[in-house]
């Protein structure tokens, strides 16, 4: 597996899809088109049912262009208002697409369910990780990279992609 930068490719994809899957597909197709190589891409973000699924595909831009991680957290807590004190349910959602030359593609999606905490904790991760509380009560930003990689929405999306035969198709 190679990173696009390793082969001189700069992916600058306009993520204008209305779903994580649509954006992942846009990135995978662009990677294949530019490299001629099978391309794995993903898109992910936070969905909060109390906010009708927002921030969703706009997670990275939820607090506006150039916003810091703290800006994202503050914007989400502000949007939740008093509901933030009630630990609303939230999901990190990831869609992964493996696009192969010849047009075949494989899709995997993963969810990590948790709740939103009203106060950030932890120093690992980025974005909403400091206020996302996993079922064992810890915040995602308190987990080591190894712990996070075992249970994350991305790990689950990649596992689902593998179950659908995506990686087997690479070696055929």
Walk me through the domains of the chain, giving residue ranges and CATH numbers: 4-171 (3.90.950.10)
Sorted by sequence, the CB contacts under 8 Å of residue 155 that are 6+ apart come out as 110, 149
HSE (side-chain half, CA atoms, 13 Å) at 41 = 26
Torsion over CA: 59, 57, 3, 159 (sign): positive
pLDDT at 106 over 90: yes
Q: Is 43 a catalytic residue?
A: yes
- CA pair distance 130, 88, nearest whole angstrom: 15
pLDDT at 53 over 60: yes
Residue 97: name the closest of 25, 152, 149 by CA.
25
Catalytic residue among 16, 43, 71, 74: 43
Question: What's phi and psi for 95, nearest 5 deg?
Answer: -120, 130
- CA pair distance 135, 63, nearest whole angstrom: 26
pLDDT at 81: 94
132-153 per-residue burial string, b: 16 or more CB within 10 A, e: under 16:
bbbeeeebbbbbeeeebeeebb
Residue 74: name the closest of 122, 140, 132, 128 by CA.
128
Q: Which comes out higher in pLDDT, residue 13 or 76? A: 76
Token pair recorded at residue 61: 């831009």
**Other beta carbons within 10 Å of 29:** 17
CB 38 within 8 A of CB 101: yes
Split at pLDDT 50, 70, 90, the class of 1 is confident
- CA pair distance 87, 1, nearest whole angstrom: 39
Reported as a single tens digit per residue, the pLDDT across 12-21 is 888 999 999 9
pLDDT at 167: 59
Q: What is the mean pLDDT of the chain?
A: 92
pLDDT at 162 over 90: no
For residues 140-167, give the mean pLDDT: 87
């Amino acid at each position: 597996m190679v990173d696009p930068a390793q082969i001189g490719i700069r992916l600058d994809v306009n993520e204008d899809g209305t779903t994580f899957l649509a954006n992942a597909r846009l990135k995978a197709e662009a990677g294949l088109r530019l490299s001629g190589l099978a391309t794995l891409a993903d898109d992910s973000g936070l969905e909060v049912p109390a906010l009708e699924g927002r921030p969703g595909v706009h997670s990275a831009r939820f607090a506006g262009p150039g916003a810091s991680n703290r800006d994202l957290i503050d914007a989400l807590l502000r949007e939740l208002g008093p509901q933030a004190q009630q630990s609303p349910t939230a999901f990190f959602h990831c869609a992964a697409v493996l696009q192969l030359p010849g047009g075949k593609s494989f899709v995997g999606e993963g969810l990590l369910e948790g709740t939103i905490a009203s106060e950030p904790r932890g120093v690992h991760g980025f974005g909403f990780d400091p206020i996302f509380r996993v079922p064992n009560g810890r915040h995602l930003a308190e987990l080591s990279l190894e712990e996070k990689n075992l249970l994350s929405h991305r790990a689950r999306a990649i596992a689902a992609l593998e179950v659908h035969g995506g990686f087997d198709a690479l070696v055929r």
